[in-house]
A and B are shown apart, each in its own frame.
Chain A
Amino acid sequence: MKSILLQTICRFIIPFLLVLSVFLLLRGHNEPGGGFAGGLVAASSFALILLAFGKKELRIAMRFDPKSIAGIGLVIAVLSGIPAFFIGEPYLKAIWFMLPTPLGPTKVGTPVIFDIGVYLVVIGITVSFLEDMDE
């Protein structure tokens, strides 16, 4: 028995939550936020889909199996330390460079990639917990 009220509200809120989660992810290095917080906000949006629409729609919304998403996140996180090898530094050394973007030069670096990996891991694990608990 799915509530129409919840479904209607979710159609508005879920895109906002997802954008908020990406915002938290990218802002994380020098300000509050980061991969863990962003991942949990994204996972909460998926939890809303699960509650409002059900498990089948959740699977359609998350195109891949949540455990695979977690695995890909882990691979990204582990591989984010590899670029340091190419400049002779130890594994996981942070490499920052200024990227000229339309909004002005922004600092981009390997910790951001690591954070993206963490983000995917948190989403994958939390959503697979939620799926299992739904049974």
Chain B
Amino acid sequence: MSVIFVVLIPLLMAAILVSLWNVPKGRKVIAIIGSGAHALAGAWLLTTVIQSGLVTKNISGWIPPFGIEFRADLFSATLVALASFIGLCVTIYVHSNIDDERTNFGFHPLFFVLLGGISGAFVTADLFNMFVWFECILLSSFVLLGLGGEKKQLRGSLNYVIPNLFSSMLFLTGLGLIYGATGTLNMAQLAERTAQINPSTAALVTVVFVIAFGLKAALFPFFSWLPNSYHTPPTAVAALFAGLLTKVGIYAIIRFVGTIAPTTASAVLPILTIVCVLTIVIGSIGALAHTSLRKILGYLLIGHIAFMLLGLIVPSQASMAAAYFYMLNHILVITCLFFFVGIIQWHTGQIDIRKIGGLQAKYPALAIGMAIPTLSLIGIPPFSGFWPKIGLLQAATDSPIFFASIIFSSFLTLLAMAKVWMTIFWRAEVTEAPEMPPCPTTKALPAYLLAAVILLISVFPAPIADLTNRAAKEFAPYFQINGGDQ
């Protein structure tokens, strides 16, 4: 039942907020309550799955091949719980970040549709249902990105709309092909049948899907939309997108190649390796080239996304566990960094690092708060980014080019963040900052809360490592077919 609530609550909240369209007063509070309920549902789902294994529910009572099934294994459940927690943090941040103009035009209902779509995409076990949730995410993200209507929003919006629309067309084409080849759309049945159809057809379908999801996940040739559009919306929206949307694309790739079509992996993996390595290299170099904080974070996001596919490229339980831990850590770290960049923008009114300076002297708490996710992103021990990175490096010994790219990316991330840090924190103050009132609690609370969670994971990584190991065990058929040892 919890698996239904995790999708039902955000959609119900969206419906309630639409019916309250012309009542501006209680909207933000209702949104926070709704997000809290969603986070509770996510936590309930996670505890249920940890205690009793897989949770499945057939929507409407139709039995699986004919009806839609929601299935939450540990891999999906953790992601849903984390997504709902991030949603709660963003809703609190939104309280002071989104102006009345946007809320009057339906910001909150769309936000909940986005959360509902993300939760649905994680728990569904039917490929076409995943398409429907992806479209929910897509349409609400289009409008959230463009809300505000100024020139920069429109520019960012067009940059975002075109590749994502093309990706959904490709997804649909792949769906048609796989339905024609196997006659089913249920993930479990697809896993049986793709092993039996013509291998080159299966490989073709896998490539179509990987391109479609790769567009969403900002992998190598298709990533330029991300830095060009993530710097335009308000901070809360950008934080939500950066933390969750690209991870949905990565989750879809892992789900497709890992669970649905493991036999086709040998055809796709060489290309996927090259794509991942190039993504890592270009993302890291791009982070050095820009001076706008948001663009730097956008390129760093791209540079780190491809690590999460190591679990597929090196088929072993250890590598999948490390990649999954990295994904969970990265969601927290990137969202936290976007929040802190928003706080910096509140204090100084600037986003270009050449114009910001002297923040260490003025706001020491901000410096400490931002240090935690920064060091975690770079991967310095004992912070939480270090533990999965060691796992990734150990797993990547089978793939030396990946090993080299991980080292390269860590070094360049260090370089980029060091440059940012020295410029904005340790330099003397550059421009006269406008006198702003102190940072509102609803902005500071989510940022520091996430920093505290990251610190907690840094000190106690063992429970998370156990969780990710258990989650990686679920991909055992994939490891068997593709010849891993464990």
Contacts and interface: CB of A to CB of B under 8 A. Distances in A.
A and B touch in the complex (CB under 8 A): yes
Interface of A: 65, 67-72, 74-75, 77-79, 81, 84-85, 89-94
B1 A85 contact: yes
Contacts, number: 60
B20 A91 contact: no
B58 interface: yes
Interface in B2-45: 4, 8, 11-12, 14-22
A91 B60 contact: yes
A66 to B, nearest CB: 9
Nearest to B4: A91
Contact of A68 (B4, B19, B58, B61): B19
Contact of A79 (B12, B14, B58, B59): B12
Given A91-B60, A92-B59, A71 B12 contact: no
Contacts of B61: 84, 89-90, 92-94
B389 interface: no
Given A90-B4, A91-B4, A75 B60 contact: no
B57 interface: yes
B59 A91 contact: yes
A85 B21 CA distance: 29
Given A92-B60, A93-B60, A75 B16 contact: yes
A85 B61 CA distance: 11
A68 B20 contact: yes
A84 to B, nearest CB: 8
Contact of A78 (B8, B21, B22, B109): B8
Nearest to B18: A71
Contacts of B12: 75, 78-79
A90 B15 contact: no
Nearest to A92: B60
24 contacts: A67-B18, A68-B18, A68-B21, A69-B19, A70-B19, A71-B16, A71-B20, A71-B21, A74-B14, A74-B15, A74-B18, A74-B19, A75-B12, A75-B15, A84-B61, A85-B1, A90-B4, A90-B57, A90-B60, A91-B57, A91-B60, A92-B59, A92-B61, A94-B60
A72 B16 CA distance: 7
Contacts of B21: 65, 67-68, 71
Chain A binding site: helix, strand, loop or mixed by DSSP? helix
A70 B18 contact: yes
Chain B contact residues: over half helix, strand or loop, or mixed? helix
Interface size class on chain B is 20 to 34
7 tightest A-B CB contacts, nearest first? A71-B19, A71-B18, A74-B15, A93-B61, A67-B21, A92-B60, A75-B15
A70 B22 CA distance: 12
Contacts of B11: 78
A18 B61 CA distance: 34
Most buried by B among A74, A89, A91: A91
Contact of B59 (A65, A75, A90): A90
Given A68-B21, A78-B12, A79-B12, 18 more contacts: A65-B21, A67-B19, A67-B21, A68-B20, A70-B19, A71-B16, A72-B19, A74-B19, A75-B12, A81-B60, A84-B61, A90-B58, A90-B60, A91-B8, A91-B57, A91-B59, A92-B60, A94-B61
A71 B59 contact: no
Contacts of A70: 18-19
A94 B109 CA distance: 27
A94 B11 CA distance: 20
A84 B17 CA distance: 24
B416 to A, nearest CB: 45
Nearest to A120: B19
Contacts of A89: 61
Nearest to B5: A91
Contacts of B4: 90-91
A63 to B, nearest CB: 13
Contacts of A78: 8, 11-12, 15
A70 to B, nearest CB: 6
Nearest to A79: B12
Contacts of A75: 12, 15-16, 19
